[in-house]
Amino acid sequence: MKRRVSVHDLIAAKGQRKWLQVHVDSGAEAAAAVAAGILILSCEPDHTLEPIRAAAPLAFVSAGMPHGMVSSPDEAIREGFRILKRGADAVYCSHSPRFIEAMAREGIPVTGHVGLVPNLAAWTGFRAIGKTAEEALAVLRKVKDLENAGAACIEVEVVPVELADHITRTTPMVTMGMGCGDVCDTQYLFSSDVLGTNTGHYPRHSKKYADFAALEAEMQAKRVAAFRAFAEDVGAGHYPEPRHEVRMDPGQHDEFQKRARSV
């Protein structure tokens, strides 16, 4: 697209297009994602948001609202507008539907979350959610609550394919699928999983496409070697060399010394 992707574009394309989505942690990752044709990005609302926006000016960016950052719907509205002003196109929110409804009423595009919600994992554990009919219905009820609250998008994480498919077919919200097959409106992964930099337990639902952790370890070894060589050069008197030094113009040092006595 030759203009920034909007929430209207996502909703209009529902059922007609499968979008790729990546959670990125830097402007460099955002630029790489866009170069690869990935136009849906998510990120944290920290110091990386502005560089990510600058690196991906035409991408749709959903920035997270940290769970617990706000304690009332009014605070959610203020923080939501602040995140949009900083460059996001939507605000991810794992708070209750009343917070989401407050933002949505003011025209803030909101991304909700069902299934494995890390911020709420104290109640569910880190596992697939919805493998039984009873639990699947509970997830579906939460989807309807978020839909009724006015959420524009919904992250569907680690739920059975059958449930993700039903949700996608029966909600007007854009479904962002992670770990639930290929039935959602977006196929979503974290850059740390794609690049192999995830230092925690490698999730079953993702695939590693590179081993940047190994490359980083190699780069760190090269950094240490370079710093050590620098220290050894200084210790042996090999650095700085004359070509690294600046000298006064000819004859100026004597003049400086003469005048310096009176200072």
Name, in order, each residue with C-beta under 8 angstroms of 54's C-beta and a sequence gap of 6 or more.
Answer: 27, 87
CA–CA separation, 43 vs 45, rounded Å?
7
Tally Cβ neighbours within 10 Å of residue 263: 5
* Active-site annotation, residues: 157
Task: State the burial class of residue 23 (Cβ atoms within 10 Å of its Cβ: 0-12, 13-18, 19+).
Answer: buried
β-pair type (110-115, 174-178) = unpaired
Q: Is the dihedral of CA 249, 253, 258, 262 positive or negative?
A: positive
